Amino acid sequence: MAVGDWIHENIKKQRMKLNCHLTTSLIDMYSKCGNLEKALDVFHSMERRDVFVWSSMIAGLAMHGHGRAAIDLFYRMHEAKVKPNAVTFTNVLCAGSHSGLVEEGMMFFNQIEPVYGVVPGVKHYACMVDILGCADLLEEAVEFIEKMPITPSASVWGALLGACKIHENVELAEQACSRLLELEPENDGALVLLSNIYAKTWKWDDVSELRKSDDSHPLSKEIYSKLDEIVAKLKSSGHVTNKSLLLQLVDEEDMKEQALNLHSEKLAIAFGLISTSPSQLIRIVKNLRACGDCHTVAKLISKLYNREILLRDRYRFHHFSGGNCSCMDYW
């Protein structure tokens, strides 16, 4: 974000007038870097906003978990007589998915073509599967896929697979994973999710192959030392590790706890604590949905260490501060 900030400041110094293209880029940059406040400042500074400016701001609100605000902005866009496009509806549906707005999501999906004249594409269908799946409406999600007028893509099966993992529906998860890997056999994220499914079905040899630990980082010793300190602080605060989230074959209780403590989010936070100043925001990006124990731990660390943590997983941002998360524990 530092480079983007520098460019934005130079635009201001040279008194360049922002056009819609620049505005869209700045909103997108700030949103994806986790600074929603600056994205909103840029948006509100514009008098004229085209469909791309509106759509990018809706996307920013959606990815930060402000689903209601994103939908309200869509209505404001409608009042401004700006016609939404396919991207707009993808962002609106993502807002519904990230905030559990099932009825609103279904309403918008059903209006896309008859009301707004936009033919729904595969991204819109994937968003609807995610909306239904995250709300534990898995049967409805499957029925929705079966009735799709277009061939389900990898993103559609991936949305169903992710939902199955959340709600621990192993049988349906295996079916979704199989269809996903048929389309994208080299999909690393799918392979990790597949290893989770193997764990639930006791295929531990496959789990071991896909879940090998990595300690090749040059600051490996410092990271693990900090992690030990974090674990000690968590225990003293009363935190009990949720061992039910473990997806490896481990018999001893203490080894189960250690395996969970080595999840990537916890290692990343430990690295952030040793490599940034006490006042600096810790930024983490991962390609899978955050696990429940890591989410709980991140909330506690933000309070115990008085640090703000910004975690962007595959689906959205999580802002941890003072022991709370912006997602309100729905993701």
3-state SS of the chain?
Answer: CHHHHHHHHHHHHCCCCCCHHHHHHHHHHHHHCCCHHHHHHHHHHCCCCCHHHHHHHHHHHHHCCCHHHHHHHHHHHHHCCCCCCHHHHHHHHHHHHHHCCHHHHHHHHHHHHHHHCCCCCHHHHHHHHHHHHHCCCHHHHHHHHHCCCCCCCHHHHHHHHHHHHHHCCHHHHHHHHHHHHHHCCCCHHHHHHHHHHHHHCCCHHHHHHHCCCCCCCCCHHHHHHHHHHHHHHHHHCCCCCCHHHCCCCCCCHHHHHHHHHCCHHHHHHHHHHHHCCCCCCEEEECCCCCCHHHHHHHHHHHHHCCCCEEEECCCCEEEEECCEECCCCCC
Selected from 1.10.150.80, 1.25.40.10, 2.30.40.10, 3.20.20.70, the CATH number assigned to the domain covering 1-120 reads 1.25.40.10
For residues 136 and 128, give the distance between their C-alpha atoms in angstroms, rounded to a whole number.
13
pLDDT of residue 329: 83
pLDDT of residue 257: 47
User: What is the band of 247 on the pLDDT scale with cuts at 50, 70, 90?
Assistant: very low
Superfamily of domain 137-211: Tetratricopeptide repeat domain (1.25.40.10)
What is the token pair recorded at 165? 């993992």
Sign for the CA dihedral angle at 142, 106, 328, 62 comes to: positive
203 contact partners, CB below 8 Å, separation of at least 6:
none
State mean pLDDT over 319-330.
90
Q: Do domains 1-120 and 137-211 have the same CATH topology?
A: yes
Taking only the tens place, the pLDDT of each residue in 276-319 is 999 999 999 887 777 788 899 999 999 999 999 999 887 788 99
User: What is the band of 146 on the pLDDT scale with cuts at 50, 70, 90?
Assistant: very high
For residues 71 and 16, give the distance between their C-alpha atoms in angstroms, rounded to a whole number.
31
Amino acid at 22: L
Q: Say what percent of the chain tops pLDDT 90.
A: 54
Taking only the tens place, the pLDDT of each residue in 179-215 is 998 898 877 677 667 676 666 666 666 665 655 546 5
pLDDT of residue 255: 35
Sign for the CA dihedral angle at 143, 172, 128, 153 comes to: negative
User: What is the band of 100 on the pLDDT scale with cuts at 50, 70, 90?
Assistant: confident
Q: Is the pLDDT of residue 273 over 50?
A: yes
Domain ranges of the chain: 1-120, 137-211, 220-325
